[in-house]
Amino acid sequence: MSRSSRPSMTPAEDECKQRQLLSFLFYQAVRDHKPVWMLEDMRTMETFHWEENATQRSYTPSEALLYAIVHDHQAYAQYLLSHFSDGALATPGERFCCCPSSAPHLAMAVRYDRRDILTLILQVAHRLPALRSYMNRSGCFHAEDGKTPLHLACELLRSEAVLLLLGSGASPQARDHNGMTPLDVILEQLWDSKVNTGAKKLCLDSLLMFMPEVRFKMKSSLEKDPQCWSKVLDVIRGVPEEFKARNHIAAGFESALFWWSTVNYINYIYYNEQ
């Protein structure tokens, strides 16, 4: 079809196309780390949302923060969090997230390994009483199986994020929609592969240090086959004699895990002080 024979756009279609273009320009501006003042001017323009019956005509601070996280625009993330606080961490529009009870900003910061922005988010969440449960919100049921940010950090082996989340009040015993705790996630990864064992053990150590009681879904599997799990976890090395015998490992597995974690932690402190 020649250009001259193409049907011309209606005014409504032309306006829709212009709004889509402006929306992309905002995304691009965040990606290119444009100055904060410029981004805020663009964000508040009432021309972004092109749905016919939309009542929201600009990006919210929450939606802008997601863009800042994706593109690691730390200055813009800091501005949004300091000027809008709980508004920046509110649930974004349905175009971004369909589950109102989730914590998409934390999950996004973990997924993209934005540790500096993750720290800023945790500081704001810690200050605001309304966000006390924020760290333990389940992720989107459709996209993340109800995983909390801590589940996701363990799954992606973000050991520093794991420690940051735990230190900010994230529960190591929270369960996803499959009944898995973050500890289950790490144990499953240790069982499945010997790749990145260092990162896995760092995550495991952090989880165990913050667990007053070791409760997890795979506990029965550990008790049924302690010898195999001992090899997987290297529990035998450095564990007291009373936990080495087969008939004591199952009964004392929790203590063995805790001992192994404690020994590693003490060694870490000792060698880093030399």
Percentage with pLDDT > 70 across the chain:
65
Contact (CB, 8 A) for 182 and 174: yes
| pLDDT in the model for residue 38 | 93
**pTM of full prediction above 0.85:** no
CA dist 78 and 245 (Å) reads 54
Confidence of residue 212 (pLDDT cuts 50, 70, 90): confident
What are 188-202's pLDDT values in tens digits?
998 888 788 889 888
Tens digit of each residue's pLDDT (9 = 90 or more) over 115-128: 999 999 999 988 88
Q: Are 94 and 134 in contact (CB under 8 A)?
A: no
Q: pLDDT digits over 24-79, tens only? A: 888 899 999 999 999 999 888 765 544 454 555 578 899 999 999 999 999 999 99
Task: With cut-offs at 50, 70 and 90, classify the pLDDT of residue 178.
Answer: confident
Alpha carbon separation from 107 to 45, 103, 118 (Å, rounded): 28, 6, 9
Q: Which amino acid is at 205?
A: D
Residue entry with tokens 């290297």: 234
Q: Say yes or no to pLDDT of 237 above 50.
A: no
C-alpha distances (whole Å) from 135 to each of 3, 124, 145 are: 54, 11, 16
